[in-house]
Amino acid sequence: MADVHKRPSRWLTAAVWGAGVLLSSILVQSVTGWGGDALAQLLNNSAQLPVTALTAALGLRLVLRGGLDSRERRAWLLLEVSFLLQVAGNGASLIQHLGGGPISFPSVPDHMFLLAIPFVVAGLLLLPAERRSRTDRLKLLIDALIVVAGACMALWYVEIGPLLEVPGVDPVVIAFSAGVPVLDLLLVFALITLVLRRPEAGAAVGLLGASMGLKVVADSSYTIALVQFGVFFGPGDWPFLLWAAGTFFSLLAVYRRMVPGASAQEGRGRRGRVSWLPYGAIAFAYALLAFVAREQSLYPLGGMILGAVVLTALVIARQVFAQRENRRLAVTDPLTGLSNRALITESLAGLTRQPVRDGRHGAVLLIDLDRFKPINDAYGHDAGDAVLLGVAAALRAVIRSGDTAGRLGGDEFAVVLPALPNRAAAEGIAQRLVDALRTPVVFGNQLLHVEASVGVAFHEEGVLDAEQLLAHADVAMYAAKRAGRGHYRVYTPDLDTRARDAELWRAVENNELVVHFQPVVDLSGGDCVAVEALVRWNHPERGLLYPGAFIELAEETGAVIPIGEWVLREACRQAAPWPVKLSVNLSAKQVVQPGLVETIGGILDETGFPAERLVLELTESVVLQPDEQTVARLSELRDRGIGISIDDFGTGYAALNYLRTLPVSVLKMDRSFVSAIDTDPDAYAIADAVVRLAHAYRLKVVAEGIETAGQARCLVEMGCVYGQGYHFARPMPGEALADFLAPARPGGH
């Protein structure tokens, strides 16, 4: 159901509760007896008319103002017709009373009230409820009809049957009198169906159902007293009080539906509290049958009734057992005996429907096993099943009695944690799970070792439904895997790659990225011969971010492609007047783009930057397995005069023979080789070997991360010509770099 977003005004609230005070005058008069029957009749008509009129006015406003979906609008439109008929009935009754003449039965008001019932029934049946399968709808219909059948037996015995046997009464009066309980039966059917269907607007529909239930009780009480006991109730007697209370509940139902958020479902377990209704109706029907046959002999009715009761009880017991077993099978994972995805989803839905408040927290843990597939591949599925059973046992040992642990499928599990005293309790459970799942599983003569990555997500403001909560836990779980596996992570918006990816794309569009430049110098003379372009993100909230905070995500999501193109264009634009070469990083995703050569050529044409002064730096992931298309693209770039460099050499797994395959001219030695060359002979020997290797391939070497004069001196001794690092200059904006280059002379590497 849609929400009607505008909250009712204070004046309207005062009017609604003022209507309640007005109706309470009927109760006061009934209790005190003040004014006699005449005042009771006048109060009954004059007090109910403005209340029903206000109900009809609010109902019309609810239907016309928007905010309801089409099906709910149709339902409230039918209910509005019934409200208008009640207004007409109360108005006609007041006019009759003020006229003072004799009143015949059935009168105009009686017809109006009777005619309103079918519209109420149709409106109640059309109110939206939770989605059900065709089989579930059929079962619900049968349950409702069972209850109505029991009510029909009762009404036939105490109302309809006796009315049809009254001698000498006008057939029209008989038909009308019998029509009231018949229509009330339809109303009972609608109410039972409504309760069993679990409608979405719980509070509003609950009040509306209470209103109609009071009407059925009042109608039945009035007729039964007259037919069975010859007692005639008049205004001021308790059936009239029930009708008045029902009128007020109808008003409250419309008012409640106008309150924002009134369509929220109101907790779990309601189905369990009403599923006994069909069985209660059967028991009531047999009790009534036994009561009617109490004066008959045991033969033949007594034994037959007893046998029918026993047979029906056995059928019901079997059905209850079958339902419980079907329920257990439907929500249980057959291998582990834990809850399955259906029950986990149901538990999560119940958790997200609970209000968020201090001292009562809810959370979900999403658990994914690490290194489970190799166990299946190496030892077979029986070994995998043994691991899954071991995980289930660990989950049962760690969670609390009110928690729900389940297997979502494969090697993925979830735990729903309601009613936590604080957020730390969930993290404690997550850590115990991580520790418990490190225990190896015994399979034959093998010890099978697994670990688990756990994502924790809390139900908090802004979490709309179970799907979103589980998605948050999934984000946290994959963050745990990326961070090294075997531990847990708590969801924060920063972990959400989708949100951060969108934020990255917006950063490109909003010009939040900036380029800094770090000089590359000739180690022998100290002159700047090149600059490396380094991207930074000038985040509007988090300040200046370095590539480590966002480049990995950009690689994962593909945002690195527009970022890389922007950096190349901006770096070429700024560096065009500088008399040095420019190095720009090229990501692995950019290298495999079919239009790479055309894109770079277009940027060079646009900025006027000379191709022979541009060096593109590749990571070792590109060098590891270059395909023919990649080699062809890089060769075409090299043919245009663009240099190709391997960045951070030595940190990956680049095969040396690919240094011959790729058109590489520069090798950048990673800072890890440089950091200890002036203090550790072994580190010196390794760095010297890398420099000699590069020279063997006729490659120029640029050493990264030079921080001391001693490191620079050692590199010169090895024959390394170029270097960069904090010893010479930190990365700086373009304006500062222009000042740094002011005394420089043209050079190259």
Q: What's the confidence (pLDDT) of residue 272?
A: 47
| CATH number of the domain encompassing residue 428 | 3.30.70.270
d(CA 582, CA 603): 14
Tokens 């494969």 correspond to 410
pLDDT tens track for 150-201: 777 777 777 777 777 777 667 777 788 778 888 888 888 888 787 777 655 5
| Structural domain range at position 579 | 520-531+560-741
* Whether residue 525 sits in one domain with residue 477: no
pLDDT tens track for 696-712: 888 899 999 999 999 99
* Whether residue 396 sits in one domain with residue 288: no
Q: What's the confidence (pLDDT) of residue 684?
A: 93
Q: Where are the beta strands (DSSP E) in 551-693?
A: 581-586, 614-618, 643-649, 666-669
Specify if 388 maps to a domain.
yes
* Whether residue 271 sits in one domain with residue 223: yes
Specify if 455 maps to a domain.
yes
* Whether residue 374 sits in one domain with residue 253: no
If you average pLDDT over residues 87-103, what whole number do you get? 82
Average pLDDT value over all residues in the chain? 82
Q: Are strands 581-586 and 614-618 parallel, antiparallel or unpaired?
A: parallel
Q: What's the confidence (pLDDT) of residue 522?
A: 92
Helix or strand (DSSP H, E) at 543? strand 543-545
pTM for the model stands at 0.48
d(CA 143, CA 149): 10
* Whether residue 587 sits in one domain with residue 461: no
d(CA 186, CA 181): 9
d(CA 568, CA 586): 9
Is the model more confident about 290 or about 549? 549
d(CA 211, CA 257): 15
Q: What's the confidence (pLDDT) of residue 69?
A: 80
Contact between 90 and 82 (Cβ < 8 Å): no
Angle between helices 423-436 and 381-398 (to 10 degrees): 140
Choose the final residue of a domain: 295, 323, 357: 295
Specify if 282 maps to a domain.
yes
Q: What's the confidence (pLDDT) of residue 269?
A: 43
Q: What's the confidence (pLDDT) of residue 267?
A: 41
* Whether residue 378 sits in one domain with residue 270: no
d(CA 71, CA 90): 29
Choose the final residue of a domain: 257, 280, 295: 295
Q: What's the confidence (pLDDT) of residue 413?
A: 94
Contact between 646 and 636 (Cβ < 8 Å): no
d(CA 297, CA 445): 76
Any residues with CB less than 8 A from the CB of 723 and at least 6 apart, and which?
520, 521, 523, 702, 703, 704, 706, 712, 715
In this predicted structure, the answer to whether residue 205 has a pLDDT above a threshold of 60 is yes
pLDDT tens track for 594-640: 889 999 999 999 999 999 999 999 876 555 556 778 888 888 999 99
Specify if 61 maps to a domain.
yes
C-alpha to C-alpha distances, 504 to 301, 387, 471, 477, 515, nearest whole angstrom: 82, 40, 20, 22, 15
Q: What's the confidence (pLDDT) of residue 524?
A: 86
DSSP 199: B
* Whether residue 120 sits in one domain with residue 216: yes
* Whether residue 578 sits in one domain with residue 691: yes
Contact between 147 and 277 (Cβ < 8 Å): yes
d(CA 512, CA 544): 10
The phi, psi pair for 44, rounded to 5°, reads: -60, -40
Any residues with CB less than 8 A from the CB of 246 and at least 6 apart, and which?
210, 211, 212, 213, 214, 215, 218
Nearest partner of 722 among 708, 706, 743, 738, judged by Cα? 706
If you average pLDDT over residues 453-463, what whole number do you get? 84
Q: What's the confidence (pLDDT) of residue 102?
A: 65
Structure confidence at residue 304 as a pLDDT band (50, 70, 90): low
Specify if 334 maps to a domain.
no
Tokens 């297997």 correspond to 407
pLDDT tens track for 35-49: 777 788 888 878 889
The phi, psi pair for 516, rounded to 5°, reads: -110, 160
Q: What's the confidence (pLDDT) of residue 745?
A: 45
Residue 632 in 3-state DSSP?
helix
* Whether residue 736 sits in one domain with residue 628: yes
d(CA 290, CA 287): 5
- Does a cis peptide bond (omega within 30 degrees of 0) precede residue 300? yes
Specify if 664 maps to a domain.
yes
DSSP 9: P
d(CA 705, CA 691): 15
Choose the final residue of a domain: 240, 262, 295: 295
Residue 685 in 3-state DSSP?
helix
Specify if 300 maps to a domain.
no
Q: Are strands 543-545 and 581-586 parallel, antiparallel or unpaired?
A: unpaired
- Does a cis peptide bond (omega within 30 degrees of 0) precede residue 106? yes
Question: Between vectors from CA 415 to CA 400 and to CA 433, what angle results, nearest 5°?
Answer: 70
Residue 650 in 3-state DSSP?
coil
Specify if 385 maps to a domain.
yes
d(CA 110, CA 504): 69
Lowest-pLDDT choice from 164-178, 308-322, 426-440, 508-522: 308-322
d(CA 394, CA 224): 63
Nearest partner of 740 among 534, 526, 547, 514, judged by Cα? 526
Residue 2 in 3-state DSSP?
coil
The phi, psi pair for 156, rounded to 5°, reads: -65, -40
* Whether residue 424 sits in one domain with residue 457: yes
| CATH number of the domain encompassing residue 679 | 3.20.20.450
* Whether residue 601 sits in one domain with residue 466: no
Structure confidence at residue 270 as a pLDDT band (50, 70, 90): very low
Domain count, the chain: 3
DSSP 657: T
Q: What's the confidence (pLDDT) of residue 281?
A: 66
* Whether residue 186 sits in one domain with residue 91: yes
Structure confidence at residue 747 as a pLDDT band (50, 70, 90): very low
The phi, psi pair for 332, rounded to 5°, reads: -120, 135
